[in-house]
């Protein structure tokens, strides 16, 4: 474990997001031998931790990779560091966890960020704008108990910015929406109101929507590299290649992530139900409890479609996300079950081998 002194700009635990929620998890023995650290970056076999007054490069031992993905540290996590042994003692319980289905390991979850307070869902006022995709991100936030804020960027590049705002309002009645030009400091005042000391904000969205530019503008410094979008299709270019946490002037912690081309949801039932609570409420009023909302008499959802109070696109995406969530959650559960059975068999073989030797 490598320690770097950072006394030139010494963040307190509170600056790093520490609170009573984490403090109450510590035992008296741990208080004597351990120090808490926040995960600022995750490498293949180690973590970059920020402690009070020091930065640590901490390796992850093999035991961590024998655990399910959800039980391993991810960016934003708090861990306890055993100072004498120079090792990670344990992972603390999380306040929140943003996750999705893994693209590279089918059947597994991928952790996006832990202990996030607010999610800036960043989209741009151009061809990238997609309501159904935005609903996926908002589902993650609602399921994790994270405040979602939609940030519409590149407002200076269109005369139709208010149209994008009005379309976004259809997603949820109480949704917070900020229309910004990431290069215009004055337009970011609404976002700065969220950047409170110790407050962790995750910026999520597709490539090229301006996440890195936003971080640089809010930080007042170049902390992330940026690249222009492609002229031919307004698609973004990948700038951020790994997740990183930044402590900015004013005290907030901003978490940048690479753009996600795929965002399959799993283990997020409460998020789906919360985002589409109006459709869920109508479904409970249908004449038949098993109503498929197609042509059944007394279907409240069909009536709502006809009178325009429910949008066809939104209903179809609700159905799609609900089916996807159920399927993917079952897939993850099956993989976990197979892994447990395999581990049990390995343990039995090892125990049997030891008995024969004895």
How many CB atoms within 10 Å of residue 281? 10
Higher pLDDT, 7 or 34: 34
Tokens coding 257: 């992530």
Which of 37-46, 55-64, 224-233, 314-323 is predicted with the least confidence, judged by mean pLDDT? 224-233
Mean pLDDT value of segment 127-154: 96
| Mean pLDDT for all residues in the chain | 87
Within the chain, strands assigned E span: 2-5, 34-42, 46-51, 54-59, 78-82, 87-91, 97-101, 109-114, 118-124, 147-153, 176-179, 200-204, 244-247, 253-256
Mean pLDDT value of segment 107-124: 95
The closest alpha carbon to 86, from 131, 121, 37, belongs to 37
- Secondary structure class of 344 (helix, strand, coil): helix
Exposure on the CB side of residue 58, measured as CA atoms within 13 A? 31
Beta bridge partners of 49: 39, 56
The closest alpha carbon to 151, from 198, 76, 210, 230, belongs to 210
Mean pLDDT value of segment 269-296: 91
Task: Give the pLDDT of residue 343.
Answer: 57
Task: Give the pLDDT of residue 51.
Answer: 94
Tokens coding 282: 């109508």
Task: Give the pLDDT of residue 313.
Answer: 96
State how far the Cα of 91 lies from the Cα of 61, in Å rounded to an integer: 13
Question: Within the chain, how many helices (H) and strands (E) appear?
Answer: 11, 14
Exposure on the CB side of residue 247, measured as CA atoms within 13 A? 22
Mean pLDDT value of segment 60-87: 91
State how far the Cα of 89 lies from the Cα of 82, in Å rounded to an integer: 5
State how far the Cα of 14 lies from the Cα of 36, in Å rounded to an integer: 11
Each residue's pLDDT tens digit, 134-144 = 999 999 999 99
Q: What is the pTM of this model?
A: 0.85
Mean pLDDT value of segment 335-346: 63
Task: Give the pLDDT of residue 233.
Answer: 46
Beta strands at 97-101 and 109-114: parallel, antiparallel or unpaired: antiparallel
Higher pLDDT, 71 or 234: 71
CA angle 127/128/132 to nearest 5° reads: 115
Which of 104-118, 157-171, 240-254 is predicted with the least confidence, judged by mean pLDDT? 240-254
Tokens coding 223: 């902390």
> Binning pLDDT at 50, 70 and 90, where does residue 357 land?
low
Mean pLDDT value of segment 55-73: 90
> Binning pLDDT at 50, 70 and 90, where does residue 3 land?
low
The closest alpha carbon to 253, from 216, 198, 211, belongs to 198
Tokens coding 274: 């919360």
Residue 165 pLDDT > 90, yes or no? yes
List of residues 6+ apart from 159 with CB closer than 8 A: none
Residue 111 pLDDT > 80, yes or no? yes
Cβ atoms of residues 275 and 138 within 8 Å: yes
Each residue's pLDDT tens digit, 203-255 = 999 888 888 889 989 988 766 544 444 444 444 444 444 788 999 988 899 99
Mean pLDDT value of segment 103-131: 93
DSSP code at position 116: -
Mean pLDDT value of segment 149-178: 94
Domains in the chain with CATH codes: 2-93 (2.40.50.140), 98-256 (3.40.50.300), 269-348 (1.10.40.50)
Task: Give the pLDDT of residue 237.
Answer: 45
Task: Give the pLDDT of residue 210.
Answer: 85
% of the chain beyond a pLDDT of 90: 63
> Binning pLDDT at 50, 70 and 90, where does residue 293 land?
confident
Task: Give the pLDDT of residue 125.
Answer: 94
State how far the Cα of 334 lies from the Cα of 259, in Å rounded to an integer: 29
């Amino acid at each position: 474990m490598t320690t770097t002194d950072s006394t030139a700009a010494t963040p307190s635990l509170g600056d790093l997001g520490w609170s009573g929620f984490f403090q109450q998890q510590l035992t008296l023995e741990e208080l004597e031998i351990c120090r808490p650290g926040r995960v600022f970056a995750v490498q293949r076999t180690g973590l970059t931790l920020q402690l009070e007054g020091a930065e640590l490069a901490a390796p992850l031992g093999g035991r961590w990779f024998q655990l399910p993905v959800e039980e391993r540290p991810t960016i934003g996590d708090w861990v306890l560091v055993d100072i004498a042994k120079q090792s990670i003692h344990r992972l603390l319980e999380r306040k929140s966890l943003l996750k999705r289905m893994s693209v590279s390991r089918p059947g597994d979850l991928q952790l996006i960020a832990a202990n996030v307070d607010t999610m800036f869902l960043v989209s741009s006022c151009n061809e990238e704008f997609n309501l159904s995709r935005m609903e996926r991100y908002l589902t993650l936030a609602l399921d994790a108990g994270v405040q979602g804020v939609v940030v519409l960027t590149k407002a200076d590049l269109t005369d139709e910015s208010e149209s994008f705002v009005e379309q976004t309002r259809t997603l949820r009645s109480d949704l917070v929406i900020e229309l910004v030009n990431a290069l215009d400091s004055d337009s970011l005042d609404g976002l700065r109101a969220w950047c409170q000391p110790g407050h962790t904000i995750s910026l999520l969205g597709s490539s090229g929507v301006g996440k890195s530019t936003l971080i640089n503008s809010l930080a007042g410094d170049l902390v992330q590299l940026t690249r222009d979008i492609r002229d031919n299709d307004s698609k973004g270019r990948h700038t951020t290649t790994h997740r990183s946490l930044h402590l900015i002037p004013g005290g907030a912690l901003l978490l940048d992530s690479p753009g996600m081309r795929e965002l399959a949801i799993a283990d997020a039932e409460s998020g789906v139900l919360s985002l589409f609570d109006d459709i869920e409420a109508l479904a409970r009023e249908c004449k038949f409890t098993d109503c498929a909302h197609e042509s059944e008499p007394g279907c409240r959802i069909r009536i709502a479609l006809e009178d325009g109070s429910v949008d066809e696109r939104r209903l179809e995406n609700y159905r799609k996300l609900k089916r996807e969530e159920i399927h993917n959650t079952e897939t993850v559960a099956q993989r976990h079950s197979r892994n447990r059975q395999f581990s049990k068999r390995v343990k039995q073989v090892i125990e049997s081998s030891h008995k024969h030797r004895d």
